A and B are shown apart, each in its own frame.
Chain A
């Protein structure tokens, strides 16, 4: 029973490029959450999605960041025109059907912006 999968595990981009981070939730989970972790910091909530719906994006920066969770395929966190401040670890979590609180995290994608 595979856990939450994220790829790539490490991503290097130059300033101004685009970064695409992918997350496949655990089998049977239809809720996906994205978090960002800066060095020596806790995780900060970014966005919560269900299939084909963004439920809560209150933690997402208003510009350059977007997220989707299509009917088929993984959830994608997209960062356009990356800047050095975007360098962080990005974690995806999934949870089972609505009404359950447990969130299970993937291994993360470590983004480095040069």
Chain B
């Protein structure tokens, strides 16, 4: 089955700086890679996703890159703000809604004022 590794487990950056979180996956059949933000006591919120036919996707301050050959994908947050502080999870799936997602263990992002 799929295995998703996520690094780092904790990331502290100064407000205004950029943050990068990296994930690797093992199953070459995976073709859908979402990122979720989870705040304390709440459910995960989908913030951006990418499919394997695309190398990069951007939405305002958030971008995701995918390298299919190396089987890794990354989340980039620019101009970080205090409200970006949360736990971020990457995930992988084979798409088509056919099965569940495999999640990484999460990155606790701390934005220092």
Chain A interfacial positions (CB closer than 8 Å to B): 4, 6, 31, 33, 35, 40-48, 55-56, 58-59, 91, 95, 98-108
Query: Range of interface residues on chain B?
Result: 20 to 34
Segment among B11-19, B36-44, B58-66, B68-76 that sits at the interface with chain A: B36-44
Q: List 21 A-B contacts (CB under 8 A).
A: A4-B43, A41-B105, A42-B89, A43-B91, A45-B100, A45-B101, A47-B100, A48-B100, A55-B98, A55-B99, A91-B43, A98-B98, A99-B96, A101-B34, A101-B49, A101-B95, A102-B34, A105-B45, A105-B46, A107-B43, A108-B43
| Contact assessment for B44 and A98 in the assembled complex, using a CB-CB cutoff below 8 Å | no
A88 to chain B, nearest CB (A): 14
Seed contacts A48-B98, A91-B43; 18 additional CB < 8 Å A-B pairs: A4-B43, A6-B43, A33-B101, A35-B100, A40-B105, A42-B4, A42-B104, A42-B106, A43-B103, A45-B100, A45-B102, A59-B100, A91-B44, A98-B96, A99-B96, A100-B97, A101-B49, A104-B46
A6 to chain B, nearest CB (A): 8
Compute how far the CA of A47 lies from the CA of B36 in the bound complex, rounded to whole angstroms. Answer: 19
| B-chain residues with CB within 8 Å of residue A59 when the two chains form the complex | 100
A-B contact count (CB 8 A): 74
| B-chain residues with CB within 8 Å of residue A47 when the two chains form the complex | 100
